[in-house]
A and B are shown apart, each in its own frame.
Chain A
Amino acid sequence: MLPSYLTMAAILFCIGLYGALTKRNAVIVLISVELMLNAVNLNLVAFSKYGVVPSLTGQIFSLFTISVAAAEVAVGIAILIALFRARGTINVDEYDEMRR
């Protein structure tokens, strides 16, 4: 069973990575990052159930991750709104202050 969970998580991670690297809309980028995070959560849960040493630690860990991710998304969206107000755009390729 473990390989199918891991494959599922890997597919999810790759979709997230693709979205994070290619999408121009900042909201979609943020959602893609969530997707990658959740792929990791899936791994944690799968290993806690079918791993070499099964224990509850993995599941507790994923609960922590979910709550931290929720907080992180809230902060991320807030920053995005602030950025949108300041720049009038949510296209990530127009956020290139680092070059200047």
Chain B
Amino acid sequence: MEPVTVYSQYAWLIPVFPLVSFIVLTAFGRGMRSAGMLIGMLGSLAALVLSVLVLLERMTNGDSPEYNYSFDWITIGDFQLNAGYDVTNLSALMLFVVSVVAFLVNLYSAGYLKEDERITVFFGYVALFTFSMLGLVLSDNLLTLYMFWELVGVCSFLLVGFWYTKPEARAAAKKAFIVTRVGDVGLLIAVLLLFWYMPEHDLSFAAIENVFGQTGTIAQGITTLIAILIFVGAAGKSGQFPLHVWLPDAMEGPTPISALIHAATMVAAGVFLVARTYSIFEASQAAMDTVAYVGAFTALFAATIGLVQNDIKRILAYSTVSQLGYMMLALGVGSLSGGIFHLFTHAFFKALLFLGAGSVIHAVHTQNIHEMGGLGRQMKITAWTFGIGALALTGIPPFSGFWSKDAILAVALDKNPFLFAVGILTAFFTALYMARLYFLVFAGKSGAAGKAHESPAVMTIPLVVLAAFAALSGFVELPWAGMGRLGAWLTGEEAAHSGSGLVLVVSTAIGLLGIYLGWLIYVKGAIPRDFISSRAPWLVRLLERKYYIDELYHAVFTVGLRASGRALDAFDTYIVGGAVRLISGAAVWAGRAGTRMQNGQVQTYGLWTVIGLLALILAIAGRRFW
């Protein structure tokens, strides 16, 4: 049967739409306001429509071969570098996720940033980001993926530092860029190694899958090395320990950006990268274990920090780090479909939570959850949608997060009970910090922030749409035989469902237990809030300071680098600059001496002429004696 590729052929247009909006906004955006917003929204809407068409096409022809188009990009002698795009089921799904969230965030920003002077610049950056992210998803080889990978990093930098008059925002933007660069170096080395070892230097994903799919073509050690290096890059982007430190700080950016880049799309790029090059990981058990353990550790680690933070966006940021850890855990225990499934649901409910948090911040102008309270009565839509998002994140049936988390935990239990235990513990902490957040913000008495009002419709509509996704998107894959449609569609085979009945019950019970405990502490007051901090203040202190990771990095890396920077600066100032100053000083001195000769006295000129003549005579006469 001839595969139907009507829309897939035009998939390259999907990133082009936002690119056009970016160019138009950058070139002519000055002075525009509502027109600029409209251009940004139209670009992302066009991308969304085409993405939906492509997704529908892939869904109806799930097992048809993937569509690939590539052309000769660079030819050097016999060597040829191809570039192109791939429409696979995975990339179609990612296209859909990215363009949905991007469009809703565009819509939301029109309300959230209405008063901002540089709103067209903002929409331009968002359009550029959307372009890069869609391009990253569509890339059919590692090299173009790497280019888009860096582009999304740049956009993240620009948008985190969007309010660049705030010193914290500037510092956060720099930190986000530098820390992710550390990971990117790993990815770059992996790309170079692959280029070296791949037959015919072919970097396309199809070739990688072919080569690593069969054992023995590439040595085991190299395979592990490449996989680990790719994972380093993925860890940088996806905020995995120990490169997670930038993500919470990136919350200095505007909240819609936190929702788009730092919750739903860019941070998921790391997970996407691992999934895209999954054959390399599958070829190396050591790399798989690394991914699984780092993911599990990050999940638990970030969740514990989330328990004690006071900034609403930081709690969500640590939650994002934790959930990304879950996705890595899933990939590491061999469940590609579980990881992608969680990515899919997480994108919706976490974007929803961030946009809800933005709505709250918009209303009360503070980010400290202790200054809020009682907002549930004043902001009904925000409270309801946020509640759905929180339940989805906590993993309470029938919301989406429950199904995806369950898919991960079921595989973890099957493969490695220890990782399963870590996952369950993380789920408990997740429930606890979300309960704390929700009850402190929306329940109880009105806080110090005072009266609030519901956000305008342009902000609540995205919330409602995302809430619908957060509630329902879990039903694409259910843990019963014959119902694992997403997994079957993505990987060609349905995930195993061993022991998932137990997991369903345990994870629900753990989630409910966490919420109940949160309710006891923060609503009923049955357990005093300082129950732990009065007994073990060092523990709370440790969590509040985020395990002193930032301080550790400061002591180990920043201080040393700064010292060597100073030394190099001194070398530059005194040695290099000194030489330059010496030369210029000599020229200036010669000039001064020259002007002293020009004193207007004829007799002095005469004297110099005589001296010159004598020198000439000496030179000519002296030649005899050489």
- Does any Cβ of A come within 8 Å of B603's Cβ? yes
**Quick check: B599 and A92 within 8 Å, CB to CB?**
no
**Complex CA–CA separation, A96 to B603 (angstroms):** 10
- Chain B residue at smallest Cβ distance from A22: B603
- Chain B residue at smallest Cβ distance from A99: B600
- Does any Cβ of A come within 8 Å of B75's Cβ? no
**Quick check: B606 and A97 within 8 Å, CB to CB?**
no
**Quick check: B606 and A96 within 8 Å, CB to CB?**
no
- Does any Cβ of A come within 8 Å of B602's Cβ? yes
**Quick check: A100 and B600 within 8 Å, CB to CB?**
yes
- Does any Cβ of B come within 8 Å of A93's Cβ? yes
Q: Distance (Å) between the CB of A30 and the closest chain B CB?
A: 12
**Quick check: A92 and B603 within 8 Å, CB to CB?**
yes
- Chain B residue at smallest Cβ distance from A93: B601
- Does any Cβ of A come within 8 Å of B165's Cβ? no
User: How many interface residues does chain A have, given as a range?
Assistant: 10 to 19
**Quick check: A17 and B610 within 8 Å, CB to CB?**
yes
- Does any Cβ of B come within 8 Å of A21's Cβ? yes
Chain B neighbourhood of A98, CB < 8 A: 600, 602
**Quick check: B610 and A96 within 8 Å, CB to CB?**
no
**Which label, helix, strand, loop or mixed, suits the secondary structure of the A interface?**
helix
**Complex CA–CA separation, A12 to B607 (angstroms):** 17
Chain B neighbourhood of A20, CB < 8 A: 603, 606
Q: Mark A22-41, 1 if CB is under 8 A from B, else 0.
A: 10000001000000000000
Chain B neighbourhood of A92, CB < 8 A: 601-603
Chain B neighbourhood of A61, CB < 8 A: none
- List 10 other contacts, CB 8 Å, given A22-B603, A92-B603, A96-B601: A20-B603, A21-B606, A21-B607, A29-B603, A92-B601, A95-B602, A96-B599, A96-B600, A99-B599, A100-B600
> How many interface contacts (CB-CB < 8 Å) are there between A and B?
25
Residues of A within 8 A of B (CB): 17, 20-22, 29, 92-93, 95-100
- Does any Cβ of A come within 8 Å of B214's Cβ? no
A-B CB proximity, top 9 nearest: A99-B600, A96-B600, A98-B600, A21-B603, A21-B607, A21-B606, A93-B601, A96-B601, A99-B599
- Chain B residue at smallest Cβ distance from A96: B600
A sample of 25 inter-chain contacts (CB < 8 A) reads A17-B610, A20-B603, A20-B606, A21-B603, A21-B606, A21-B607, A21-B610, A22-B603, A29-B603, A92-B601, A92-B602, A92-B603, A93-B601, A93-B603, A95-B602, A96-B599, A96-B600, A96-B601, A97-B600, A98-B600, A98-B602, A99-B598, A99-B599, A99-B600, A100-B600
**Complex CA–CA separation, A92 to B607 (angstroms):** 14
**Complex CA–CA separation, A92 to B602 (angstroms):** 8
**Complex CA–CA separation, A64 to B602 (angstroms):** 27
- Chain B residue at smallest Cβ distance from A29: B603
List B573-617 residues whose CB lies under 8 Å from chain A. Answer: 598-603, 606-607, 610
**Complex CA–CA separation, A37 to B601 (angstroms):** 22
**Complex CA–CA separation, A9 to B239 (angstroms):** 97
**Complex CA–CA separation, A44 to B598 (angstroms):** 35
**Complex CA–CA separation, A12 to B599 (angstroms):** 28
Chain A neighbourhood of B599, CB < 8 A: 96, 99
Chain B neighbourhood of A17, CB < 8 A: 610
Q: Distance (Å) between the CB of A6 and the closest chain B CB?
A: 16
Chain A neighbourhood of B598, CB < 8 A: 99
**Complex CA–CA separation, A17 to B598 (angstroms):** 20
Chain B neighbourhood of A93, CB < 8 A: 601, 603
Q: Distance (Å) between the CB of B143 and the closest chain A CB?
A: 69
Chain A neighbourhood of B606, CB < 8 A: 20-21
- Chain A residue at smallest Cβ distance from B606: A21
**Complex CA–CA separation, A99 to B599 (angstroms):** 6
- Chain B residue at smallest Cβ distance from A17: B610
**Complex CA–CA separation, A68 to B603 (angstroms):** 23
**Complex CA–CA separation, A20 to B602 (angstroms):** 10
